[in-house]
C-alpha cells in the first residue's frame, strides 16, 4: 500500500493542560469566542467549540495529567484562523480584556497576533489578508 487508507479532514481537537478551569473558560469563551460544548467532571475537563476545531481544557491535576509535566511541554503554540478583524478594534478588544499582544507577524497573505492564555499557552490569532480590515 503506497497511500494511507484514510484522508485527513483537519484538526479535530487540541487538549491543553490549564492551571485554572474557570480562567481558561473565561479566556477561550469570553475573549476568543468559543462556546462550551460539554463539561466532563470525571476527567476534570471541558470541551470548547472553536468553530470546526475543539479546544479541550484539562485541569493540570486531573485524570489526564502527566506526572511531572511542565506547562507547555509539547506545544510551542497553536493557531486559530479567524474571519478577519479590524486592527484597531482587535487591539482595543484584547487590551480591554487584559490580554497583551506578545508578538506580531504579517506578510502579503496573512497577519498574526500572538497572545497567552491564563495558563501561559501561546495562541496565534490568524487573519488571512482581504478579510475584514479597516478601509
Over residues 39-73, the pLDDT tens digits come to: 988 888 898 888 766 666 776 666 555 555 565 45
Average pLDDT on 29-39 reads 92
Whole-number pLDDT of residue 135: 44
pLDDT at 35 over 80: yes
Element (H, E) at 28: none
Q: How far is 17 from 58, CA to CA, in rounded Å?
A: 5
Average pLDDT on 68-91 reads 75
Over residues 103-135, the pLDDT tens digits come to: 998 888 888 899 999 989 888 888 887 655 544
Question: How far, CA to CA in Å, does 46 sit from each of 10, 41, 88, 95, 128?
Answer: 21, 8, 32, 26, 29
Place of cell 470548547: 48
Predicted TM-score (pTM) of the model is 0.69
Whole-number pLDDT of residue 31: 93
Whole-number pLDDT of residue 6: 58
- Set out the domains of the chain in order of their start, with CATH numbers: 13-60+76-128 (3.10.180.10)
Whole-number pLDDT of residue 33: 92
Amino acid at each position: 500500500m503506497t497511500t494511507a487508507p484514510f484522508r485527513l479532514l483537519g484538526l479535530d481537537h487540541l487538549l491543553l493542560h490549564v492551571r485554572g478551569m474557570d480562567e481558561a473558560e473565561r479566556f477561550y469563551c469570553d475573549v476568543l469566542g468559543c462556546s462550551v460544548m460539554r463539561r466532563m467532571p470525571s476527567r476534570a475537563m471541558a470541551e470548547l467549540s472553536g468553530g470546526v476545531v475543539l479546544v479541550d481544557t484539562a485541569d493540570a491535576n486531573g485524570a489526564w495529567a502527566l506526572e511531572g509535566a511542565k506547562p507547555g511541554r509539547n506545544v510551542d503554540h497553536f493557531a486559530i484562523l479567524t474571519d478577519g478583524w479590524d486592527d484597531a478594534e482587535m487591539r482595543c478588544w484584547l487590551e480591554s480584556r487584559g490580554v497583551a499582544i506578545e508578538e506580531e507577524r504579517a506578510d502579503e497573505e496573512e497577519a498574526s497576533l500572538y497572545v497567552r492564555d491564563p495558563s501561559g499557552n501561546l495562541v496565534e490569532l490568524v487573519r488571512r489578508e482581504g478579510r475584514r480590515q479597516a478601509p
